Structure 1
Amino acid sequence: MPNSDFHALRLQTGISIEELSEKLGYSTRQVRRWDNGEQPAREIALRTLRDMLTDTTNVTPMPPRFTFIDLFAGIGGLRRGFDSIGGHCVFTSEWNKYAQQTYATNFRDNHPLNGDITQVQTSDIPDHDVLVAGFPCQPFSIAGVSKKNSLGRSHGFLDEAQGTLFFDVARILADKRPAAFMLENVKNLKSHDKGRTFEVIMKTLREDLGYHVWHKVIDAQHFVPQHRERIVIVGFRENVPFSWDDLQLPPKGEQRLGHILHPEDGSEETEAPYTVGSTAEVNAKYTLTDKLWAYLQGYAQKHKAAGNGFGFGLVGPNHVARTLSARYYKDGSEILIDRGAGQNPRRLTPRECARLMGYDDDFRIPVSDTQAYKQFGNSVAVPVFREVARIMQPHIQAVMSGESQMKVAV
């Protein structure tokens, strides 16, 4: 079969470019070139697709393995991880209207997007097997239990977490009792408010709610060319043999910025407004103005003299970037792409930011550059949570299976 049939074969199997990339071990950019006919597909890729087609012909699609809800959903980075292991999202909550727009553009759901979770009653949330949430970090108020008792008030998470967004995670876990949950937050959650925030969260999840809980800080640099550490908290309703040792983390440094930058040589399709012309060169609007570049250099020199660091991060194809932040839209200073001697550096385009966070090029960006920079800066690195979801999956099924057996026995 000629290589030009790669795209048709892929469509017949129903596999996405992202999924096929992961299965084959090639980059999504490489698989997309085969899919677009820009390069002849490798025989192993064609053979894999043919085998998949043979295996799936006349086979009734399997129902979803489990259901989950997506809280503080952003643009759906966490959801992508749980979609990849057979989950079916039955409820989504995200308050930001621009993030809602991006989410709705990329996920065609049979349920409406809900806004502020603090305004949603748990009775209006469907039963689900897994709760997924990237909740914001807030301090907990300090109040003595003895004083609460004297006033006839309850204590525990219903009081300690009240007024924080973690409270909404806790109340849903308490009422719905899903088989498992996965929470994500910044690395500094453990030291936030002198450790009290994390202490209350762990006490709530373990003692008040009775879940078996594990946590770990993971650097996205294992998967993408960006140093980005996040804490991951997973919990199961039953005691399962979950272990972080099951994570398969590629060595850091294998991914470099060259893997996500626009090649500007015509090997990828032009994507306006990010790239222009027949060779898909980066739009000149992403190059820093003389005024801004002069300001950043002066700022860096002032702080270098004071021993405070350089102020901006100038990088090239062989480097790993600093953490992309939601403030990137302001001046792009944490990740500036070196364009060579005598030329001002440039910002990443929103498409490059998407790639830096592990989103496939199929991910659509319907918002302005400013909103896109904020969204990707606030997002999770998708491959990290695809891997976390992968090692959670058998334990999710084990808890659900145990529940089913109990129901049959009764």
Structure 2
Amino acid sequence: MSSTAHSFTFIDLFAGIGGFHAALSALGGECVYASEIDEAAAKIYQHNWEMEVAGDIVPETDPVVKVPPHDVLAAGFPCQPFSKSGFQRGMDEARGTLFWNILRILEEHRPSLVLLENVRNIAGPRHAHEWQVIIRSLRELGYQVSSTPAVFSPHLLPPSMGGRPQVRERVFIVGTYVGTEQSHKEVDPVVRNRPIDGWNPQDWVLSDYLQDEDEIADRANYDLTPAEQHWVRVWSEFVLRLRAAGVQKLPGFPIWVDHFRHIDSLVVPDGTPAWKANFLRKNAQFYTEHEELLNRWLDDFDELEDLPASRRKFEWQAQDAASLEDCIMHFRPSGIRVKRPTYVPALVAITQTTILGKPLRRITPREAARLQGLPDSFEFPGQPDSASYKQLGNGVNAGVVYHVARAEMARSGNARWESTLRSSSESFDV
């Protein structure tokens, strides 16, 4: 997974369990410092990467004294509101935030490359001020960065280059140190939010990344509860009966059983939001068109009275799939969402683990780790699965980091990265 000789050094801030470490060590880097405030995640990091992990850098202390010189600073930093008082310039505006500590380290050590990752919303309208401060502050320290967000997801990267079947759009802020005379020149984002090398994301085969059933330890832990199995059975019958009746296109809008009624009797209360009124009308029209079939289905399952309110809602996003067995599912507050089994939604640090239609079970932590580009040798000893899911949901996809880092090294024009690019593969291979 990593080269025998190290061609550069890096530090790993807000390190989680080590997605950056997986990618940068595969490029030939040596990690000389890592920090993570979450003790459980730090233990997993220490176990897998065999190095000590410092507590998180915090605004009340000067981080410079802790951090050794390095060539690359990597950080999946948290986004915090920055002061807008007087719209001050540069680092002072970020003082008191964790991002300020990153700036202090950059100011002191001037690593050749900075590689930051954050959620998509960091570049959205609600965080416009934070985005401006981040870009301006990095440029004032001499780093050439794009003011256009570099958004990318592992499902856009072909498997031959380390991609994975997971839609996980993240923003990357990547900069090369060029000095303050050059750093304010605008550059294009290091990556674009589109498939690489003609790859078609619809060609993903999720089953390629699943474990064989007989190799899953404690297999019963991933089975659905009897109640959850009943929910799936109810909605599986819904789909099968519509298909048998010749319905080629299932509704793309949310199905709300509690609002099934004949279109002629529909009354939309005054003040109902337009989006909800639209869904009410669509549900009524759908019910009217298939009233006899739907009434039999409801009657066979006791009007769904034993289903919680959120499970009486159904979101079909699986196009022409024949049944729930052919799909993946998520139990969401908004209902049971069904998708085609090409790629999964982003792993999240809450209990919305992807459910496979066949075999009917949740994905395992090992499978979730594969979707984050971590090797099967990566371990989660001594902790419950819920903690592993949380850590993976908070993590960064290693294959994407590898791709983004190589792209920045290649375009930097810095001769120091030529040997790294020559000695490393274009493909991220775990």
**TM above 0.5, one fold?**
yes
Distance in 2 (CA, whole Å) between partners of 1:103 and 1:361 is 15
Larger radius of gyration: 2
Offset at 1:199?
1.3
Whichever residue aligns with residue 184 of structure 1, its letter is E
Where does 1:172-191 land on structure 2 (aligned, <5 Å)?
A: 172-191=105-124
Q: Distance in 2 between matches of 1:397 and 1:173?
A: 20
Task: Give the structure 2 partner of residue 200 of structure 1.
Answer: 133
The aligned counterpart of 2:151 is 217
Q: Which residue of 1 aligns with 2:348?
A: 325
Match of 2:357 in 1: 338
Deviations 1:315-368 (A, max 9, x none): 57x43211110003xx53xx211137xxxx422111111112121211112232
What's 2:300 paired with? none
Task: State the secondary structure of the residue aligned to 1:183.
Answer: strand
Task: Report what 1:272 is aligned to.
Answer: 217
What are the equivalent positions in structure 2 for 1:78-97 lying under 5 Å apart?
78-97=20-39
Shift of 1:381: 1.4
Q: For each residue in 1:238-286, what CA deviation from the matched residue of structure 2 results, as whole angstroms up to 9, or x when unmatched?
A: 269987369955432332321122232x5xxx3533xxxxxxxxx1221
253-262 vs 93-102, which deviates more? 253-262
1:276 is matched with none
Deviation of 1:385 after TM superposition, in Å, equals 0.9
Normalised TM-score (structure 2): 0.64
- 1:359 equivalent to 2:299? Answer no
Aligned partner of 2:297 in structure 1 is: none
**Structure 1 unaligned runs (5+)?**
1-15, 20-60, 146-154, 274-282, 403-410
How far off is 1:120 after superposition?
Answer: 5.3
Q: Which whole-Å CA distance do the structure 2 matches of 1:164 and 1:170 have between them?
A: 10
Confirm or deny: 8 A CA contact 2:150 2:189 kept in the other structure.
no
- In the alignment, is the contact (CA less than 8 A) between 1:179 and 1:396 conserved in 2? no
Which runs of 5 or more structure 2 residues have no equivalent in the other structure?
A: 157-162, 233-306, 316-331, 419-430
Q: 1:194 to 1:87 in 2, by over 3 A?
A: closer
Instruction: Indicate the residue corresponding to 1:10 in structure 2.
Output: none
C-alpha contact (below 8 Å) 1:77/1:382 kept by paired residues: yes
Instruction: With the length of structure 1 as denominator, give the TM-score of the two structures.
Output: 0.67
Tell me the residue number matched to 1:58: none
C-alpha distance in 2, partners of 1:104/1:172?
A: 23
Larger RCO (alpha carbons 8 Å, 6+ apart): 2
> What RMSD, in angstroms, separates the aligned Cα atoms of the two structures?
3.1
Q: Secondary structure of the equivalent of 1:312?
A: strand
Map of 1:228 onto structure 2: 168
Answering whether residue 260 of structure 2 is matched by residue 244 of structure 1, we say no
> Aligned to 2:104, which of 171, 177, 182?
171
Gap change, CA 1:272 and 1:303, over 3 Å in 2: closer
Aligned mates of 2:38, 2:144 — CA distance in 1 = 32
CA shift digits 1:148-186 (9 cap, x unpaired): xxxxxxx43332112222111111111111111000001
List per-residue Cα deviations over 1:107-165 (Å, max 9, x = no partner).
123xx3111211453022101111000001222122015xxxxxxxxx43332112222
Cα distance in 1 for residues equivalent to 2:92 and 2:386: 38
Residue type of the alignment partner of 1:217: V
Of 191, 203, 207, which aligns to 1:258? Answer: 207
C-alpha spacing 1:192/1:90, structure 2 compared with 1 (3 Å):
farther
Contact between 2:10 and 2:71, CA under 8 Å: does it hold in 1?
yes
Percentage identity across paired residues of the two chains = 35
Q: Secondary structure at the match of 1:244?
A: coil
CA contact (8 A) 1:315 1:337 kept: no
Distance 2:57 2:125 in 1: 23
Call closer, same or farther: CA 1:88–1:78 in 2, change over 3 Å.
Answer: same
Deviations 1:28-80 (A, max 9, x none): xxxxxxxxxxxxxxxxxxxxxxxxxxxxxxxxx97421111100000110121
Number of equivalent positions: 308
CA distance in 2, matches of 1:326, 1:176: 33
Which amino acid counterpart does residue 217 of structure 2 have in structure 1? A
Shift of 1:369: 0.5
Query: How many Å separate the matches in 2 of 1:378 and 1:71?
Result: 14
Tell me, what secondary structure is at the counterpart of 2:41?
helix
Tell me the CA shift for residue 299 of structure 1. 3.9
Confirm or deny that 1:142 pairs with 2:76.
Answer: no
